[in-house]
Structure 1
Amino acid sequence: MTGGDRQEPDVATDSADILDRRSVAKAVVGFVIAAVLLYFLGNVVGWNDIVDALARADLRWVAVACLCTCGYLLAWTKTWQVVLDAGGITIPYRELVPTYLAATFANYTTPFGQAGGEPFIAYVLSADTEASYEESLASVSTADLMHLLPFFTFAGIGLAALAITGTIPPGASSILIGLAAIAIGVPAIVYGAWRRRDLVERIITTLARPVTTRTDRVSMERIETRIDTFYSQIARIAAEPRDLLVGIVYSYLGWICFAAPLYFAALALSLPVDPLLVAFLAPASSLAGFVPTPGGLGGVSTAMVALVVALTPVGAGAAAALAILYRATSYVFALLVCGPAALYVTARA
């Protein structure tokens, strides 16, 4: 493995911090909130209808959906590897897989993890490899931005199909506004942060200055050095367009596998859900992942039910069964796959 001089992140000093009591408490609270959301969803829709629909599910399609979940985990691990390699950090794929799975587990079990888990994921990566924290954060941030391309591509294709068929419901306006806000806001923020590096550095140092006056563990010089390292790593990655193109290909492949469990869950329940509709439903419902529950648990299912009922002739009970089965074969199954990797990486670190 190669990388810059090793700089230990300030966020923790040993692997035990990954599963400290505060993080576990937050996760427990998040899962409790998710359970309450799912409970009320079932009460509104009717648990009997949901259970009856799930009992008739074809387990063969359920198994295929679970395999697709493995597919997106492996594909997005490859995206990570390509981006890291572009930044001069060489890590064998088989060694990176458990690290990515562990980081995904942390992201999926942390409230708001989908909205801002990059610093924590960067710590997991830096603790398990020879990359510095800044190099890891730059690589993770770049990979996340690459994942936005297929996100908007598939959402756009699905939205175009809905527009052509005239099946866009009036209630979908808030979702369309959310997609548009992300499509415009994220690139604008990224471009601004890149072009106005001096402004970003002033903001960070201003916020950090009160901390540096109260402790000797953090210094302004060290913070400025880390900012420089982060921007230098981003520039180094951006200078390898061929690697970035390969990474984008794997990112698209991962998104196909990420959405596929929804399609196969519909097949398992014998529900009429078109693949083009799946292309819209998967990214649109993932906007609910910003609710304060681990992995958007509860929020994504509720959004999925509302969208399926509005866009298809499927009833509320069957739509809820579809949402639950989709999340079981994607989110829950991913936790079962990533959990052992998280324990392995923690012990190895």
Structure 2
Amino acid sequence: MATAAGFLLAGAVFAVMFWLVDAEAVVRALSRADAGLLAVVALTIVCWNASWGVALWNVLQAQGVTVQWYQALLVNAAGAFANHVTPFGQAGGEPVTAWLLSRTADTDYEVGLASVASLDAINVVPSLSFAALGATYYVGVVAVGDRLGYLPVAVVALALVVPVVAVLVWRQRRTVERYVGAALARLWRGVATLVPRLSPPRPGALRERVEAFVEAVERVASDRPRLAAALAFSALGWLLQSVGLWVTFVALDAPIPAYVAFFVVPMGTLGSVFPTPGGLGGIEAINVTLITIVTDVAPATVAAAVTIHSVGGYLLTNGIGALATGALGVRP
């Protein structure tokens, strides 16, 4: 029910967006797209998903999980499908992806969840790096305060602050681990008093699960070669996404500066917090707004390009993910 409501909300967002930029102009822009270049865009989307699948495989290798590289690609694709059909983007599908890993690789759920969380954390590094590079270039060629105001400066500052905060939290992980375990135990006991037949866990059970999760993350952090490989393939995935967006505009005969794509793609992921399946609608609204502000491309053409790249990627990723789910043969 929540997913259906999410799709309805996403449809409403697209309807408003197309109405604002002139739906007929969007259709005209779509009609002049170069089919050959659109095939290149589709290829970048497939390669981007494969690249992140290889990144996941390296994370699993660091965990000591026995899994073939193609199985990791299938799990990553199936996980992307789960992310895209559950509300709140990435947060909705991560537990499902961890469950898929636990069944496919025959490993503990905590290890699977730690692997997925580790990949998410790894993906943040190149994401912020690309956004910061694009923003820095924008600041260098456009006066600060023009069009985007101080947003590019804020992005650069965020790219510097987040790693510092992450390091501080990691160094205090034992303290954080205790607080999280205690908080989860209190929450579970509260839920157990409200839900019939739900018994609270034995004392220390949740704390042990949190400890297992942290230990699994530590194994990834301590394997430098695998961590470096995962970072490299994660960065390749972000690069392919950005190149795909740039090629989409070329296909519509409305090229944009490359730095715009590098800046916009990571920023657009903020739309994943939108309460729709996979952040559908929220991501596109952010992308259209940013590109319209920083370029001279007509808003209708921007909307057409973003729709092709983002919604087309959404559908293609879901199709591959559905096939991957069937190929894994996972049974409850």
Q: 208-217 or 53-62: which moved more?
A: 208-217
Partner of 2:94: 118
Structure 2 unmatched runs, 5+: none
Match of 2:139 among 151, 157, 163: 163
Partner of 1:192: 169
Match for 2:45: what amino acid?
Answer: T
Q: 326-335 or 105-114: which moved more?
A: 326-335
Partner of 1:224: 207
The DSSP-based 3-state class of the residue aligned with 1:147 is: helix
Match for 2:280: what amino acid?
Answer: L
Indicate yes or no: 2:279 matched with 1:296: yes
Structure 1 unmatched runs, 5+: 1-24
Partner of 1:206: 186
Aligned residues: 325
Cα gap change, 1:51/1:77 in structure 2, threshold over 3 Å: closer, same or farther? same
Q: 284-293 or 198-207: which moved more?
A: 198-207
- List aligned pairs for 1:18-57, cutoff 5 A: 25-57=1-33
Cα gap change, 1:209/1:176 in structure 2, threshold over 3 Å: closer, same or farther? farther
Partners of 1:190 and 1:209 in 2: CA distance:
32
Partner of 1:273: 256
**Residues 288 and 299 of structure 1 are in contact (CA less than 8 Å); yes or no, is this contact kept in structure 2?**
yes
Partners of 1:278 and 1:200 in 2: CA distance:
38
Displacement after TM superposition at 1:312 (Å): 0.7
Displacement after TM superposition at 1:298 (Å): 1.2
Partners of 1:110 and 1:199 in 2: CA distance:
28
Indicate yes or no: 2:297 matched with 1:314: yes
**Residues 269 and 322 of structure 1 are in contact (CA less than 8 Å); yes or no, is this contact kept in structure 2?**
yes
Displacement after TM superposition at 1:174 (Å): 5.7
The DSSP-based 3-state class of the residue aligned with 2:269 is: helix
The DSSP-based 3-state class of the residue aligned with 2:204 is: helix
Match for 1:275: what amino acid?
Answer: A
Displacement after TM superposition at 1:158 (Å): 0.5
Superposition TM-score, scaled by structure 1 size: 0.86
1:57-113 Cα shifts (integer Å, max 9, x gaps) = 001111101111111111111111111111111200122222211111001111103
Q: Percent identity?
A: 27
The DSSP-based 3-state class of the residue aligned with 1:220 is: coil
Superposition TM-score, scaled by structure 2 size: 0.90
Displacement after TM superposition at 1:217 (Å): 6.9
**Residues 212 and 220 of structure 1 are in contact (CA less than 8 Å); yes or no, is this contact kept in structure 2?**
no
Partners of 2:143 and 2:165 in 1: CA distance:
31
- List aligned pairs for 1:70-81, cutoff 5 A: 70-81=46-57
The DSSP-based 3-state class of the residue aligned with 2:277 is: coil
Displacement after TM superposition at 1:195 (Å): 4.5
Cα gap change, 1:348/1:199 in structure 2, threshold over 3 Å: closer, same or farther? closer
The DSSP-based 3-state class of the residue aligned with 1:117 is: helix
Partners of 2:150 and 2:328 in 1: CA distance:
43
Partners of 1:172 and 1:36 in 2: CA distance:
29
Displacement after TM superposition at 1:160 (Å): 1.0
Match for 1:222: what amino acid?
Answer: A
Match for 1:135: what amino acid?
Answer: V
Indicate yes or no: 2:307 matched with 1:327: no
Partners of 1:234 and 1:298 in 2: CA distance:
33
Displacement after TM superposition at 1:47 (Å): 0.7
Displacement after TM superposition at 1:226 (Å): 1.1
Match of 1:98 among 45, 50, 74: 74
Displacement after TM superposition at 1:152 (Å): 0.8
Match for 2:235: what amino acid?
Answer: Y
Q: 79-88 or 225-234: which moved more?
A: 225-234
Partners of 1:181 and 1:198 in 2: CA distance:
28
Displacement after TM superposition at 1:35 (Å): 0.6
**Residues 178 and 207 of structure 2 are in contact (CA less than 8 Å); yes or no, is this contact kept in structure 1?**
no
Match of 2:320 among 337, 343, 348: 337
Partners of 1:177 and 1:121 in 2: CA distance:
32
Partner of 2:236: 253
**Residues 126 and 132 of structure 1 are in contact (CA less than 8 Å); yes or no, is this contact kept in structure 2?**
yes
Cα gap change, 1:175/1:117 in structure 2, threshold over 3 Å: closer, same or farther? farther
Partners of 1:293 and 1:307 in 2: CA distance:
20
Displacement after TM superposition at 1:175 (Å): 7.5
Indicate yes or no: 2:137 matched with 1:154: no
Displacement after TM superposition at 1:44 (Å): 1.0
Indicate yes or no: 2:45 matched with 1:69: yes
Displacement after TM superposition at 1:346 (Å): 5.5
Partners of 1:186 and 1:219 in 2: CA distance:
36
Partners of 1:212 and 1:346 in 2: CA distance:
33
Partners of 1:255 and 1:56 in 2: CA distance:
27
Q: Cα RMSD (Å) of the superposition?
A: 2.3
